Amino acid sequence: MGKVAAKIKVMPNSPDVDLDALQERLEGSLPEGAKINGVERDDVAFGLVALFPTVIVPDDTGGTEAVEEAFSNVDDVESVSVENVGRI
């Protein structure tokens, strides 16, 4: 069984969101078997900063759908989109 690394763009719903707390909530929402292997931040516009966690998931779990759904249900998340996926 292989593993997949996915870079996921997480947009907060406001520039006022505490990004450190949001990052902790994202980590806490991960489905079993998934882990975050680093988080980048990128200024979007008008003080809004997107988080780009790189998530490692087992190849047999249906890809990144469970992670995307978990991240979408976290408080203060506006949108979730997969930016890049590759096998490791």
Mind giving me the DSSP string for 4-34?
A: EEEEEEEEESSTTS-HHHHHHHHHHHPPTT-
Tell me the pLDDT tens digit for each residue of 22-77. Answer: 999 999 999 998 999 999 999 998 899 999 999 999 887 577 899 999 999 999 99
66: domain CATH number is: 3.30.70.60
**Domain, as residue range, for 9:** 3-87
pTM for the full predicted model? 0.91
How many domains would you assign to the chain?
Answer: 1
